Structures are given as C-alpha cells and as structure tokens.
Structure 1
Amino acid sequence: MADPLPEALGLLLREARARLVTAAVDDPTLDARLIVEHFSGMTRTQAIADPERKIDRSAIAAIDAALRRRAGGEPVHRILGYREFYGLRLLLSPETLEPRPDTETLVEAVLPFVKAIAAREGECRVLDLGTGTGAIALALLSAEPAATATGVDIAAGALATASRNARQLGLADRFTALESNWFEKVSGRYHVIAANPPYISSQDIENLQDEVRDFDPRTALDGGEDGLDPYRTIAAEAEVFLKPEGRIAVEIGYTQQDDVTGIFTAAGYAPVGAFRDLGGNDRVLVFQRGNP
C-alpha cells in the first residue's frame, strides 16, 4: 500500500509521477498531471504559481484511487471519463471506443467536401456508422453549421453517450442517434457516409496493447476473420443511402489500403482520396460512386 499522499499541490504532483514511474506507465508525467489537475480542480498554471496550495482530503482520496487504477493498467482518459477530440471534450462510457487523434484524419479528409456541399445546397447530411462517442459526427457539425448528422451504433449505451456529448456541445438540434446494426434501420440519403469501423482481425485482438484490448469494447475492435467484414457490409449496402455524387469515408488499419480499395471498387466505387495520419500511416480512404 502506498504511503498517504501529501497535501501540497507540488508535492502531490511529484508523488503521483513517482508512483506511475514505479508502475512503468508509458507517460507518467502527463498522466500524473492530468489526474491531479482533474480530481483537485487545479490548473497547470496554479500548480506552477502556487505549489504549496493545500489540497483537501477528499480530493487526495480521489487522486489516490485514480492513481491505483492507472497503475493497474486502466487508460488515463477512461479514469477521467472524457477525451479531447478535434478540440471537443467528449465523454466516454464502457460502450464507446476511446476516440484517438488518428481519427481526426477522417474529419479533415471529408470536411472540405462537407463545406462545399453545405455552401452549394444549404445543408450537408452526414451518416456516421458506429458513432461511439459521436466523435466524427460532432466534429463535423462543430466545423460546419449547416451540417446535420445521424449517428448509428448497435450499442444503446454508446448512443446515450453520443447524445449526451451532443447536448453538452450545443449540437443536439443537429444530431440524431439511431440504434441500428449498420444500415438495418437507416432511412433517407446522405451526402457523406463516414465510418471508423472495427478493423482488427479476430485472431489479432489478443495481441493488442492491454489498454486497448482490456478497456475498449470488443465490438468496436473486431472486424471478423480478416478484419475486413465491416467494409464489405458498407460497400455492399451503402448505395441506396448515398446521394448522387455523395462520398464514403472510412478509417482503415495501416496495412489495409489495397484490400479496402479492392472491396469498394468491386462494388462500383472509385477512390477519390487517400490520407495518412500524423505518424505517416495509411489511415483514411474516400470513395465516390462511379467515376469521380
């Protein structure tokens, strides 16, 4: 059992970092700061300006509990209950994938098209398949006031979280949550169909980092025997829900560009864009029906 945490903010930060270093956490300095700031209600500026500030015992107890969870392998943002994505603070829940910076690549890939459609037609309708926290849909809505979005997910808990995020961001009037297995209960046509689908092959799930395998929902990770099942479903069924000249944007695993492109071209789509994430890995593909 760890010794009681000190009361002074500066000492508290140093002790938190030391505990996470001992636990071999990947980024102990950042995680300690995030935990201490969140549960103490202090900011980084306050920690620097007033390291002798006393922290009350209830906050210290919460910080201690959070450090134990982090040392046990739970991701820091799961402990905090939120994650920043595209400048938005998104609440997390056990049913949602933790949105990651790589997925911002998809938002950037389709945003110019969303804006162009909105400028031309006065609206842009977005369908976000497997919406989770609502990250993709809500990022696009925040960037384009004329856009509307339907977030589809098979998990009711994920949809509740996405709806709550939409309300907290002031976007609820343009966001609709729909419980559906892919297109099963979808109606209407959309200018953009976007998805960050499960794309890990079933046999590779156990090889993922512990923080992903043990805390992200398996349904948001497992893409079937070869990791490509969701792309086959989207390519086969999307046409009746896509407006003429509409586009499909999908996140992919870094080795899947050729396979996913083959699936969509075989279904009658033409590739119109391929985008890499900040790490230089293939990450997003965009398709259009027929010839671009």
Structure 2
Amino acid sequence: MQTIQSALAKAAALLADSSDSAALDAEILLCRILDKDRSYLRAWPDRQLEPEHINHFWTLMQERQKGMPIAYITGNREFWSRDFHVTPDVLIPRPETELLVELSLKLIPSDQCVRIIDLGTGSGIIAVTLALECPHAKISATDLSLSALSIAQLNAHSHHVTHIDFYHSDWLTGIPDAKFNLVISNPPYIAEDDSHLQKGDIRFEPQTALRASRQGLNEIQIIADTARNHLEPGGHLLVEHGYNQQQQVQAIFKQFNYDNIQTYKDLSGQPRVTYGQWNYCSYNRRAALVVQDE
C-alpha cells in the first residue's frame, strides 16, 4: 500500500512534464478524494491510503496528465472567496475577472434597488457574486449556451440566491424592454488565430466563450452598441478584454458615444477592464451638432 507522502511524490513526478504546478495539482486531487484539506496531507504523510482511494487518485492523475484542467476534474473553482461549480461547458473562473466585481461594487450602492445585467454569464460567477454583495439589486444574466445557463442556475441555487433572472439570449437580443444601471460582461475577446488557444488549460475550455472575430473585438463592439438602448441615462458599462486591447476597446466606446471612458488594470498590472458611462443628453447634443454641420 502507498502512503500519502509516497503517492504525492510519485504523482508529482508523473506530472512534471505536463504541469507547471505538479506538486500542487497532486495535492488538490488527493484532497478531493480524501475530502480533506492540504494541512491534513502534511500532518499525516505516513498514513496509508485505502486501495479505492489509490485507484481513484491514479484515474484522476491520468486525466491531469492529458492536460485536463484541475477545475474540470474537481468540478469547482474559487471566485471572490466562494466556491463555484464548473464543467467543460463554461470557462474556468480567473482571478483577473474579480476586477469586474470590484469595479461594479464601487459604482453600485449595495443598499439601493439598482438593475444589473451580466451578459454571457457562463458559470454565473459575476451575477451570483453581485447578487450576494448587493442583496437589494435586481439582477439579470444571459447566455447563448443552455448548458452554461444550467451551471449558472445551479451556482445561484448553491449560494441560496433567488433574485437573478436568467435568459437564454444572444447578448441583449432576447431581453425584455428594460433599462439597467449597469451592464457588465466578460465576453469572448481572443483573436481566432491566437496561438494561445492551442496551449494549456484553454484547449479544453468552450471555444465559443473565448474566440471572437475582428481580432477578438467583434463581441465587444456588439455589446457596446446594443447596451446603449438598455442603459439608464448615466448608466455604466464594464467590459473585460485582453491585455493588449485597451486602445481598440476605448475607440469602440468612443465610437458609440460613451463618456468618462477609462481602463483599469488587474492585479498583474495589465489593462483588463474598460468602463464607459452612457449619457443620453450628451449623445443627443453630439447628434445635433452633426446634423447642423451637414
């Protein structure tokens, strides 16, 4: 029989060529099987594993060796200090997306009944997190994937959130005629020919949630355009994008007459989220000037 220590050592060696975090991966998978935390592994390194645990462990290790992301193997990932269900039908939550939540909470008073819509909700991490942080908000969430919507609804149920309306919709096309104080989205923004799509965990994630035409900008342009018809005067638009797309995204926001355009950096210092404010009166003044010039 194998001990915890010997199993982890063998597993880390097995993953050395396929993972940059081999030892950590092995610990996470063994913790999953034993239903223990990592401190348990360190406290009991010489404890022998049961045969069924060993067999299950090596089955999961083989999946990881093939490149399957840890989050898909375990079925969960942490976001905003909460645990969320994930499957290959949705993107794996990433730390940089927490910037969207952070900025939203600065814009939206937690004690007011505001309307928020999360476009392309995926696993629902943004919508559910905002619902928990802003219990008075009226929140909507959309996705074109019915499978993704099922995961988002499961996460809402797991966190006892009941004030989210989920819509099967291509961005805003299937949304009832409503106005929002905040439109927020983490849309596909990777160029279709980007070599990163063939590397690492991203190979296993849903490509429709990653890739966009026009060098990754097509969906952002659609969102910026259509959001204007669903934003209250003075309403906010927040969109996550690639680290190298700041100038292009700001240009799109300017094209559609948003005000106070700013881009914010994530924890690694990369430009990650662009903000714009919809000012209907300002838009009308600009439109009037164009007519006068003609």
TM-score, scaled to structure 1: 0.91
Structure 1 residue aligned with 2:158, among 164, 168, 182? 168
- Is the radius of gyration larger for structure 1 or structure 2? 2
Q: Which residue of 2 aligns with 1:186?
A: 175
Determine if the alignment matches structure 1 residue 32 to structure 2 residue 21. no
| Partners of 2:47 and 2:201 in 1: CA distance | 36
Which of 268-277 and 250-259 deviates more?
268-277
CA contact (8 A) 2:238 2:276 kept: yes
Going from structure 1 to structure 2, the CA distance change for 1:100 and 1:209 (only over 3 Å counts) comes to farther
Going from structure 1 to structure 2, the CA distance change for 1:12 and 1:42 (only over 3 Å counts) comes to farther
- CA-to-partner distance for each residue in 1:67-89, whole Å, 9 max, x for gaps? 11111111111111111111111
Shift of 1:210: 2.2
Shift of 1:42: 2.2
Aligned AA (1:105) = L
**Structure 1, unaligned runs of 5 or more:** 1-5
Aligned AA (2:5) = G
Q: Which residue of 1 aligns with 2:100?
A: 106
Q: Which residue of 1 aligns with 2:286?
A: none
CA contact (8 A) 1:253 1:282 kept: yes
Secondary structure at 1:238 match in 2? helix
Q: Which residue of 2 aligns with 1:123?
A: 113
Alignment root-mean-square deviation, CA: 1.7
Structure 1 residue aligned with 2:193, among 185, 203, 218? 203
The residue correspondences of 1:228-239 to structure 2 (distance < 5 A) are 228-239=217-228
Q: Which residue of 2 aligns with 1:3?
A: none
| Partners of 2:64 and 2:50 in 1: CA distance | 21
Q: Which residue of 2 aligns with 1:49?
A: 43
Determine if the alignment matches structure 1 residue 157 to structure 2 residue 147. yes
Q: Which residue of 2 aligns with 1:9?
A: 4
Shift of 1:211: 2.8
Shift of 1:212: 4.0
TM-score, scaled to structure 2: 0.90
Q: Which residue of 1 aligns with 2:213?
A: 224
Q: Which residue of 1 aligns with 2:67?
A: 73
Shift of 1:56: 2.1
- List 4+ stretches of structure 1 deviating above 4 A: none
Q: Which residue of 1 aligns with 2:13?
A: 18
Secondary structure at 1:13 match in 2? helix
Aligned AA (1:238) = A
| Partners of 1:17 and 1:52 in 2: CA distance | 17
**Structure 2, unaligned runs of 5 or more:** 283-294
How many percent identity over aligned positions?
Answer: 32
| Partners of 1:181 and 1:128 in 2: CA distance | 12
Determine if the alignment matches structure 1 residue 269 to structure 2 residue 280. no
